[in-house]
Amino acid sequence: MATVIVIGAGLGGMSAAYEIKAELGNAHDVILINNKPDFEFTPSNPWIAVDWRQRKETSLPIEPYVSKKGIRFIASGLQALQAEQKQITLTDGQTLDYDFLVLCTGPELAFDEIPGAGPDAGGTVSVCTLSHAEHCRDSVHALIEEPGPVVVGAMPGASCFGPAYEYAFILDKHLRDKKVRKSVPMTFVTSEPYIGHLGLNGVGDSKGMLESELRQRDIQWICNAKTVGIVDGKIEIDELDEDGNVRKHHSLPYKHSMMLPAFRGIAPLRGIDGLVNPRGFVIVDEHQRNPKYPQIYAAGVCIAIAPPKATPVPTGVPKTGYMIESMVRALTLNIKAELEGAQPSAKATWNAICLADMGDTGAAFVAMPQIPPRNVAWFKKGKWVHLAKVAFEKYFLHKMQTGDTEPIYERVVLKSLGIDKLE
């Protein structure tokens, strides 16, 4: 009997535990480890920040649901990984051995790389976690009581740009609903070389469409923005040119600022030679397996993906939901193959499907594969996207409750559209 340990119970980790258990059955043990007792649907965090959702609507306890599938759950953080010994130590003092380890840890938020940034420093707020979104909500309440300038965007090295755009549009709608938008000048500040780059060299007409949406909402923007610090209620920004030289310095006063940080790998993994890159992201091959430690697989935001093209201000590559699901499907089949004495052969397509809410409308894109050059690059907007994202929130939470990560009707619909998880 083999022991498969999954660390992290986010979009990738919880799905991985369910899929691996479904494939391996009771012949092998599956253990899910997470530093929180609850699953949180991260894509809903911008709604949390403007009081459109509450915690109980976008999170659920993990143990009652996974235990029904025969998965053991431990609510504890990772303290250390002894990759040579195939052993992990948890923050609660437990030491566990594994035959296969699946890392779905998500990232560490690198606010400390920008002086004054982040909720702890008090300079900016965030929607990266549910708790951060609730803290952001308090700042939004204060903004409505005492309107003033708003700065939203992404700092150098950020890789998840979608939530920054979403939040800017959602906050604009919320402020209009509260009848205070006229007193709140808004600026979108991003490390992207152009609006709609998204860390992906753009998708379809993302540049033109998102620029148009910002203009319609009277939101100004600064691209190639290198945030250098937050001091005395001002965000200090160096705007770079195409060669990386400072073109202009901006000192933006703000009443409310939500700035997404750069990500890095979590502390217990950083520095493990051959497992992670210099930023602490897990190195994987085409089968989601680490080359040096083949018993370790990884999926999601914690894996290393090189940007398709260097930019004047560093930008990372986003790992979107369906892309993560494709990684999970591949590693599940590869672990099963290894346990049956075969070689891993499954490869994730890394196709991307993204629904971005804009408050009263939305934008959707399909990129197949996510990293260019692509076979398909499609970007559309409409009120239907807002409704689709609301429906997807309910649908995904339902999947995490039932443990059925890919119902047959989902598989049939995506297959009919030519969207597959595996090559």
How would residue 417 be classed by pLDDT, with cut points 50, 70 and 90? low
Tens of pLDDT, residues 108-135:
999 999 999 999 998 999 999 999 999 9
Cα–chain center distance at 158: 11
Higher-scoring residue by pLDDT: 76, 410: 76
CB 175, CB 181: distance < 8 Å: yes
360 or 111, which is more confident: 111
| Mean per-residue pLDDT, 237-243 | 97
Q: 223 catalytic, yes or no?
A: no
Assign residue 280 a region: left if phi > 0, alpha if psi is -120 to 50, beta otherwise?
Answer: left
Tens digits of residue pLDDT in 292-330: 999 999 999 999 998 888 999 999 999 988 899 999 999
User: Among residues 104, 128, 160, 223, which one is catalytic?
Assistant: 160
Per CATH, 2-109+264-347 and 111-262 having the same topology is answered: yes
pLDDT at 410: 76
> Distances from the Cα of 194 to the Cαs of 201, 239, 263, in angstroms?
9, 12, 20
Q: Which two tokens stand for residue 30?
A: 């599956």
Lowest mean pLDDT segment, chosen from 27-41, 192-206, 330-344 = 192-206
Instruction: List Cβ neighbours of 194 (8 Å cut-off, separation of 6 or more).
Output: 202, 207, 223
Q: Is the CATH number 3.40.50.80 carried by domain 111-262?
A: no
pLDDT of 423 higher than 90: no
Neighbouring residues of 237: CB distance < 8 A, sequence distance ≥ 6: 189, 222, 225, 226, 227, 228, 249, 250, 251, 252
Q: Catalytic residue, from 104, 223, 302, 354: name it.
A: 354
- Domain residue ranges of the chain, discontinuous segments joined by +: 2-109+264-347, 111-262
Q: Please state, in angstroms and rounded to a whole number, the distance separating the CA atoms of residues 299 and 61.
A: 22
Share of the chain above pLDDT 70, in %: 99
Please give the pLDDT value at position 376.
77
Q: How far apart are CA 362 and CA 356, in angstroms?
A: 6
pLDDT in tens, 370-409: 777 888 778 888 999 999 999 999 999 999 999 998 877 6
Q: How confident is the model at residue 15 (pLDDT cuts 50, 70, 90)?
A: very high
The mean pLDDT value for 213-237 works out to: 97
**Pair 302, 265: CB distance under 8 Å:** yes
Name the residue with higher pLDDT: 377 or 193. Answer: 193
The SS3 of residue 32 is strand
**pLDDT tens digit sequence for 133-176:** 999 999 999 999 999 999 999 999 999 999 999 999 999 999 99
- Both structure tokens of 236: 């200090």
pLDDT-above-90 percentage for the chain: 85
Question: Cα-Cα-Cα-Cα dihedral of 234, 201, 217, 157, to 10°?
Answer: -20
Q: Is 354 annotated in the active site?
A: yes
| CATH number, span 2-109+264-347 | 3.50.50.100
Q: Quick one: tokens of 176? A: 């209009």
